[in-house]
Chain A
Amino acid sequence: MAASATGVARGVFTRTSSGLVRTVGTTDTFFYCLIQLAITFVLYNIAFWFIYPGASMELASAFALVAAVLEGITYGLFGSIYPRSGGEYVPLSRAVHPLVGFVASFSQTFWQTFVTGVIVAGACTLGWGPMLTMLGLQTGNETLTNIGLWFDSPTGWFVFGTIAIVLFMYMLYRGMRVYFSVQRWLFTIALGAYVVFILVMILGSVGVFNFEANFDKYAGAGAYASLLKDGAAATDLNPPFSGTQTLYYTIWPAYLFLFAVLSLAFSGEIKNVKRGQLIAIPVAQIVGGVLVILTSFFARTSVGSDTLLAAGAVGADKFPLHYSWLTMLASVMADNVLLTIIINLSVVILTTYVAASTAIYATRGVLAWGIDGMAPAKAGEVSDRYHSPTYAILTVTVLAIGVLAIYSFTDWFKWIAALAPMSMVFLFTTFVAALFPFFKREAYEASPAKIEIFGVPLMTITGLLGSAMMAYMVYRAVVDENFGPTTPITRITMIGIFVLGAIWYFVARYIRQRQGVNVAARFQEIPIE
Chain B
Amino acid sequence: MRIYYASDIHGSRKCWLKFLATPKYYGADVIVVGGDITGKFITPIIRRNGHAEATFLGIKRKLKSEQDIAKLSELIANAGQYSVEMSPDEEQTYARDQAQVDALFQRVICERVEEWGRLADERLAGQRVRCFVSPGNDDSYNVDQALAKSKVIEVHDGRVVDLGDGFSMFGLGYSNITPWNCPRDISEEELAAKIDVLARQIERMDRAIFDIHVPPYDTGIDSAPELTSDMTVVSDSLGAPIMVAVGSTAVREAILKYQPMLSMHGHIHESSGVRKLGATTIVNPGSEYAEGILRGVLIDLDPREGLISANMVTG
Contacts and interface: CB of A to CB of B under 8 A. Distances in A.
A384 B220 contact: yes
Nearest to B243: A387
B237 A20 contact: no
B288 A84 contact: yes
Contact of B233 (A21, A33, A381, A525): A21
Contacts of A14: 40-42, 101
Contacts of A258: none
Contacts of B183: 16
* Contact count band on B: 35 or more
Contacts of B123: 529
Interface in A217-268: 263, 266, 268
B269 A446 contact: no
Contact of A180 (B180, B225, B238, B313): B238
Nearest to A81: B291
A18 B7 CA distance: 14
A373 to B, nearest CB: 7
Contact of B315 (A21, A30, A442, A524): A524
A521 interface: yes
Nearest to B300: A516
Q: Is the interface of A mostly helix, strand, loop or mixed?
A: loop
Given A11-B54, A25-B232, A32-B238, A443 B40 contact: no
A22 interface: yes
A35 B238 CA distance: 8
B55 interface: yes
A422 B40 CA distance: 40
A387 B138 contact: no
B245 A266 contact: no
B162 to A, nearest CB: 26
Contact of A528 (B18, B239, B269): B18
A20 B180 contact: yes
A450 B59 contact: yes
Contact of A266 (B22, B220, B239, B292): B239
A18 B180 contact: yes
Looking at A10, A19, A525, the one whose CB has the most chain B CB atoms below 10 A away is A19
Given A12-B55, A17-B180, A31 B14 contact: no
A17 B40 contact: yes
Interface in B231-269: 231-233, 235-243, 245, 267, 269
Contact of A15 (B40, B219, B223, B309): B40
B79 A11 contact: no
Given A17-B138, A269-B290, A521 B41 contact: no
A522 interface: yes
Contact of B14 (A17, A33, A372, A528): A528
B313 A442 contact: no
B238 A31 contact: yes
Contacts of B40: 14-15, 17, 19-20
Contacts of B231: 5-6, 20-22
Given A18-B180, A522-B314, A523-B314, A357 B57 contact: no
B60 to A, nearest CB: 7
B1 interface: no
Interface string A434-449: 0000000011011110
A12 B272 CA distance: 28
A495 interface: no
A521 B138 contact: no
B135 interface: no
A522 to B, nearest CB: 5
Nearest to B59: A450
Given A6-B231, A384-B220, A446-B75, A82 B181 contact: no
A9 B54 CA distance: 11
A15 B101 contact: yes
A29 interface: yes
Interface of A: 1-2, 5-6, 8-25, 28-33, 35, 81-84, 94, 177, 180-181, 183-184, 187, 263, 266, 268-269, 271, 273-275, 280, 357, 360, 371-373, 380-382, 384, 387, 442-443, 445-448, 450-451, 515-517, 521-529
Given A445-B71, A521-B25, A529-B123, 4 more contacts: A13-B104, A181-B237, A271-B290, A521-B26
